[in-house]
Amino acid sequence: MTINLKFKKVIAVMFLGSMSSFVAASAEDSAGLAPEATAAETQISFWDMPFLKKAYIDSTPADRKDGIAVGELGVDGGNKNKIVMLVQEIADGKHGGYDSLLIAHKGKLLFESYYQRARVNLPHFQSSTTKSYTSLALGRAIQMGYLTMADLDKPLVSFLKDLDPTKFVDGAEKITLHQALTMSSGIRISDEKREEFKRTPRRLKGQGEVQAFLESSAPITAESQIFQYGGGQSNLVMQVIEAVVPGTAEAFIKNELLDKMGISNYRWQTSVSGLPEAGQRVSMTSRAMVKWGILVINKGKWQGEQLISADYLAKATSSVTKATEDWHPKNFFYGYFWYQTNITAGDKNYDANLAWGGGGQRIITVAELDLIIVITGADDADTIMTQVSKIILPAFAK
């Protein structure tokens, strides 16, 4: 994730392609239901979506027959007054530019709200939250036996058969899946080389992307294999998924994850390599994000079926390394494309796992409270975690 993203530039291409399509929907303010994008609105840029005439705030979310159980805030958990007061402030723009806030507790969606350009049926750009989905796709491959936990410590190139190792920089052959997943591969590619990639996209087709990375990087050393966010490391993981699953990574993700969770309204773009994007350029509805949160908080199970290897998910959501860029909060740690932190709420502390993308995209799970918080936004300052700590967690604290 890159903080202070130039969102319009990022999103300008986001809606050009898709692995799925929207279902035509009715307009805003229909019978008091959550606002929906019209068929025409689904075809325009996110940035051209008209703002809602008024924020939609619902403490008794409707059962949309989408596989998410619903309940009532205050009755099934949570302090309703605290939450409603907060979201009214969000709607008034007092906490930045956010598009939705949803809260699920003890298996039920208890609160749903949309502001600005958001609609219940409109997939919202995910930015680097995409990396967390890529991680779970790898966990699905492990659950199905296409990889093992031991494979995480094997050289990443051992799974890729179309490479020429004679052209690798020193140390490239030793990069493991574990290191790529923890942003510690050691790959360092200069801006000049990256510009060269842009001028020669054919070079990046298929496993040519990996070849280009591993022959264009500075030498890989023990000193370079420390946490450094970015570097196309999520692309390396997607390349391994493509190599080990039957068929394609695109079909695998659709059939073995999205379809099983009943997620059909999404956008997952294709990268220059021809594989699914691994680090950005995916869009999900806010309710679909709740489903990903349910999958994580239930230790990889969806409606009783073990979709993600429990062992893998435990590792992915553990504090493997420290997140060290200056834009990372001081108490943030990193697992396999998932963040971990400790959130103070009043006089208590809670461990939380986060999928986090620039602009405010978040899936936050707090296992001790059986709590899932989903947030979408387009906010450069991205300060919403203060309100999560001050208001939302205390509203559900034991």
pLDDT tens-digit series, residues 168-190: 999 999 999 999 999 999 999 99
Q: What number is the average pLDDT over the span 30-38?
A: 80
pLDDT attached to residue 14: 37
Question: CA of 144: how far to CAs of 232, 236, 336, in Å?
Answer: 26, 20, 18
Burial class of residue 240 in the structure, from the number of CB atoms within 10 Å of its CB (0-12 exposed, 13-18 middle, 19+ buried): buried
Evaluate whether 293 touches 369 at the Cβ level (below 8 Å).
no
Nearest in space to 373 (alpha carbons), one of 381, 134, 360:
360
What percent of the chain lies above the pLDDT cut of 70? 92
Which residues share a beta bridge with 340? 333, 353
Phi, psi angles (nearest 5°) of residue 372: -125, 130
pLDDT tens-digit series, residues 140-155: 999 999 999 999 999 9
Evaluate whether 264 touches 352 at the Cβ level (below 8 Å).
no
pLDDT at position 23 over 70: no
pLDDT at position 6 over 90: no
CA-atom Rg of the chain in angstroms = 21
Query: What's the farthest any 2 CA atoms get from each other in the chain?
Result: 65
**Tokens 């239930």 found at:** 298
- Where b means 16+ CB within 10 Å and e means fewer, 61-95 reads beeeebebebbbbbebbbbbebbbebbeebbeeeb
| Average pLDDT over all residues of the chain | 92
pLDDT attached to residue 105: 98
pLDDT tens-digit series, residues 87-144: 999 999 999 999 999 999 999 999 999 999 999 999 999 999 999 999 999 999 999 9
pLDDT attached to residue 90: 96
pLDDT at position 9 over 60: no
Nearest in space to 96 (alpha carbons), one of 363, 359, 395:
359
Mutual angle of helices 129-143 and 286-297, in 10-degree steps: 50
pLDDT attached to residue 230: 87
pLDDT at position 10 over 90: no
Q: Which two tokens stand for residue 351?
A: 């461990």
Element (H, E) at 208: helix 208-216
pLDDT tens-digit series, residues 294-350: 999 999 999 999 999 999 999 999 999 999 999 999 999 999 999 999 999 888 999
- Has this prediction a pTM greater than 0.75? yes
What percent of the chain lies above the pLDDT cut of 90? 89
pLDDT at position 274 over 70: yes
pLDDT tens-digit series, residues 342-375: 999 888 999 999 999 999 999 999 999 999 999 9
pLDDT attached to residue 398: 77
